[in-house]
Amino acid sequence: MKAVLGLEDGTFVAGNGFGVEGICSGELVFTTQMTGYMEALTDPGYAGQLLMFTYPLIGNYGVDRENFESPRVHARGCVVREIACVPAMQPSVAEFFRENSLLGISGIDTRRLTVKTRTVGTLRASLIVGSDDGEEAVRCARASPPAGDADLIGSVSCPAPYRIAGAGKRVAVIDLGVKRSILTGLSRSGADIRVFPHTATPGDIMAAEPDALLITNGPGDPGKAADAIRCAREVVGTMPVIGIGMGTQVAALALGAGTYRMKFGHRGANQPVRYRDGSISITTQNHGFAVDGETLPGGCTVSYRNVNDGTVEGFEDKDLAITCVQFHPDIQFIDRVYRGIP
């Protein structure tokens, strides 16, 4: 199929479409991960975005449903250099896209688009599959709403509370678009998990009598998570609070700190962060906003910083029992934080 990707600055590139014919629009963002493409596509944090992979070949091991981060693809479109036609397992990514009415484009210079994004910042984009009308793609990109105007959290949060039973400490979770692996990590540690929608009130949380509150990752502007900010503000000081991804920004906003939109964000599985003791970890990240470390109140300590640009990747307040990390932690990190809950 014909396909074309248009950007709001007037750039457009033609390629080969896969999936189904149609049009989708959103921010064009890139991820640097070399594996885990289906984990990225099913990450609720990519809601509202066209996801571009910098690794040149995507789909070589097919679709591995076991490692999905949610039941469906949240990225509005997929942009790749080359899509594997003969994967090691079935179905192929192209077949999966076709069966699930998703849109993708291959055969374009993703390196050039990545360099453009790093130079000028994240741009609105539109993908048309079934046509190579670049001017129409640019028009659609310019007509799409600015990313900051979109309220994406409600589309990825759970519609009602639910429980993942465990014999250990009770953890209340505010779901802003949680990745399945985070809940899996908590469950493996033995936690009794009570998951709440993004609209949960402080009363909802307190009624569950939790030992700690976890605020999860999610898409878009953390300022849109007004209910979660209000809830965190009321809960802080009464129990330990853990923030992951957007949850870190929500916790910071609840304390009166500020956040800001990054030029092109951090997305991928190879982001280096430095802990305050000097040790460095390679982390998975997906965020376009960051905490302004200069605005954190007294008592808060920046615990992690990004090695590449110095942005805040985590903070703590020992007196208030707050632990926040901007990156998506592995199971060992989650277990360590869980075991630190009084």
Look at residue 111 in the predicted model and tell me its pLDDT.
97
What is the rounded CA–CA span in Å between residue 232 and residue 247? 10
Look at residue 242 in the predicted model and tell me its pLDDT.
97
Note if the bond before 91 is cis, omega within 30 degrees: yes
What is the rounded CA–CA span in Å between residue 72 and residue 140? 25
Hey, what are 76's tokens? 């509005």
Look at residue 10 in the predicted model and tell me its pLDDT.
97
Hey, what are 1's tokens? 């199929």
Please state, for a pLDDT cut of 90, what percent of the chain lies above it.
94
Look at residue 149 in the predicted model and tell me its pLDDT.
77
Look at residue 186 in the predicted model and tell me its pLDDT.
96
Look at residue 78 in the predicted model and tell me its pLDDT.
98
Look at residue 342 in the predicted model and tell me its pLDDT.
87
H or E element, residue 313: strand 312-317
What is the rounded CA–CA span in Å between residue 308 and residue 150? 29
Segments of the chain with pLDDT less than 50: none
Look at residue 36 in the predicted model and tell me its pLDDT.
93
Look at residue 167 in the predicted model and tell me its pLDDT.
96
What is the rounded CA–CA span in Å between residue 13 and residue 113? 9
Look at residue 339 in the predicted model and tell me its pLDDT.
94
244-263 pLDDT per residue, tens: 999 999 999 999 999 999 99
Look at residue 310 in the predicted model and tell me its pLDDT.
97
Alpha-carbon radius of gyration of the chain? 20
